[in-house]
Amino acid sequence: MTDISSAGTFTLGDRAVNRMGYGAMQLAGPGVFGPPKDHDAALAVLREAVASGVNHIDTSDFYGPHVTNELIREALHPYADELVIVTKVGARRGTDKSWIHALARPELTEAVHDNLRNLGVDTLDVVNLRIGGVTKPSEGSIEAPLTVLAELRQQGLIRQLGLSNVTPQQLAEATRIADVVCIQNMYNVAQRDDDRFIDDLSSRGIAYVPFFPLGGFTPLQSAALDAAAASLNATSMQVALAWLLQRAPNILLIPGTSSVTHLRENLAAATLQLPPDTIVGLDLIAGSGKRALNQDDSIQEKEGAQPVQS
């Protein structure tokens, strides 16, 4: 198995985790809704990830809904002491597979208890408050929903708090309410709006966890990415993940897949070192090919679309 420890560790709250983790979203059915196509294969992916050294799993009870958490519990419970399971609240699923904001006090409280029950734990390791739309933050105060989670943390139901899809201004507001251990925003070699944000978080010891590190609703495509992969005898997706690992020490990866084969390919990126000239070429992608690489806006608006290796 790949030694993912070569990518290093970062402290997530009060616990060190390997920087190469796993995102469970794709274990649910199409559109992140309903059961997986292959139940046993989903369990196998989770067990393979942990056996390979992954000790940071990202999930949510609104994936499915309930599906990914129930799979995690079936595959891995009782959990190893070193395993950190990060979940998120702030949304719910409609019967039409839509994603609906769920930020009222009763909704957040119910979501935390749903996560506790379906994961089979008494305390959630980290809970991210999801704000904004599908891929981008939205402006506005987050004081009210975060205050609810801070109270639940004081009750012992949550160890650490994080934020998803937020702006630097919203983080500043959040830190006046509670400590924040991680930010989860969209970011990859082509989508780099958070460059300055990441550097600021790194200086403050806050983890940055990019979602859709491999593109999201459509996979990353770039001649520069393909050329770099060919020169390194790697896949384009491995290069994209390796670029993130070398981008900043506080970046934690959670690439998702429902395939053991793809899982192994993703984890192998932990050992891939990109030469300086390769990084220079990849850094140009976001500027020179931004329109070609950006996810189609019409696809992004379809919240039920199935992400690709996100």
- The architecture of the domain spanning 4-300 is Alpha-Beta Barrel (3.20)
Q: What percent of the chain has pLDDT over 90?
A: 86
Can you give the pTM of this predicted structure? Answer: 0.93
Contact 186, 210 (CB under 8 A): yes
At 41-95, the pLDDT tens digits run 999 999 999 999 999 999 999 999 999 999 999 999 999 999 999 999 999 999 9
Asked if 63 is an active-site residue, the reply is: yes
CB atoms under 10 Å from CB of 181, counted, come to 22
Structural tokens at position 118: 């379906």
Can you give the pLDDT at residue 121? 98
Looking at 176-180, 184-188, 305-309, which range is the least confident one? 305-309
22, 63, 79, 187: which one is catalytic? 63
Can you give the pLDDT at residue 303? 41
- Segments making up each domain of the chain, as ranges: 4-300
